[in-house]
Amino acid sequence: MTSGSVAIGIIGAGIMGERMLNAILRQDPATLHACGIWDPAPAALQRMRKGFPQVGQMSDAAGLIAASDCVYIASPPASHLAHARAALAAGKTVFCEKPLSTDVADARAFVAQAGDRGAVNFPFASSPAVAAIRNWIDAGSIGTLQRIVIEVGFAAWPRPWQVDAAGWLDRPMQGGFTREVVSHFLFLARRLVGPLHGLKGEASFPEGGQSERRIAATLRAGDLPVALTGAVGETSKDDHNVWMLEGDRGAVRLRDWSIAERRLSDGTWQPAPDALPNEQARPIALRRQLEGVVNLARGRPHHLATLSEALDVQEIVESLLRRAAA
């Protein structure tokens, strides 16, 4: 475990790798710094070289792992666990994009092996909006908790900013909106309410060789029922999402990733006083995520999504995607 500036190495030069690198470069270098980046695609590294000439590029994953205290894994899902295991074997900690894997059995084995040496990048763990929702719940604003409703929708999948990754992001083996988006809201239910279980539902794959276009399911978070729906092509919005928690005296919800709202007695929704649109809230959450990464690398307690929480989410996601509609 390091006591100096934490060296973060990045595997994967796609959208998430670039986003995380930008966040790292905005932090105090005395606390953490980017020690390098690696991607198997030369074109991706060339693009990063132009945008981030100050960040070293490694010739392979092994060299990057050797230079790191913590390895951030932002490659496609099928490669996550191989990189994560290599990092753990080298004595490093791991901060991984979700899902850990699309192979649930392999993910279970990894989580059992890794213990507390890894975490997963679910930014709701650091979201100001989620903190507001938690405060309302703890203050008793909605009374006894009764149910959760999750609804997501997309004009098209992948979303416009993801089209360069469509080669895997719109394929059933690794991609789809359930893994990429719904998993965040399942994590939120898991973190705020309790373990996920009791799944019933199905996913629809109407376009051969492409990812799901609709899901409908029920499950439970702790003792609470959860209703989940998602679809592509039924909204004009690039990205529509609502996570709502109802109680016997009111309700709270997270809308459009970052707007925390409370339902008033007249049925209208009132945003939290400090609510921010996602483009302004995301840098705050990423900074807090990186504070957690520093603690992880230093062997201290952190607030990041644990490997066990991520596995709980993955179990539900992969089970749902296996239940294809007839």
Summarize pLDDT for 146-187 with one digit per residue, the tens. Answer: 999 999 999 999 999 998 889 999 999 999 999 999 999 999
Top-tier CATH class for 6-122+285-302? alpha beta
Q: Domain spans of the chain? A: 6-122+285-302, 125-277+312-322
What mean pLDDT is predicted for residues 296-300?
Answer: 97
For the cut 70, the answer to whether the pLDDT of residue 326 exceeds it is no
What mean pLDDT is predicted for residues 198-221?
Answer: 97
pLDDT tens digits for range 24-34: 999 999 999 99
In the prediction, which pLDDT does 324 show?
Answer: 81
Q: Pick the residue with more confidence: 290 or 323? A: 290
CATH topology of domain 125-277+312-322: Dihydrodipicolinate Reductase; domain 2 (3.30.360)
Sequence-distant (6+) residues with CB within 8 A of 170 are: 157, 158, 176, 210, 211
For the cut 70, the answer to whether the pLDDT of residue 104 exceeds it is yes
pLDDT tens digits for range 231-262: 999 999 999 999 999 999 999 999 999 999 99
For the chain, give the percent of residues with pLDDT over 90: 96
In the prediction, which pLDDT does 164 show?
Answer: 86
pLDDT tens digits for range 120-155: 999 999 999 999 999 999 999 999 999 999 999 999
pLDDT tens digits for range 39-87: 999 999 999 999 999 999 999 999 999 999 999 999 999 999 999 999 9
In the prediction, which pLDDT does 243 show?
Answer: 98
State pTM to two decimals.
0.96
In the prediction, which pLDDT does 236 show?
Answer: 96
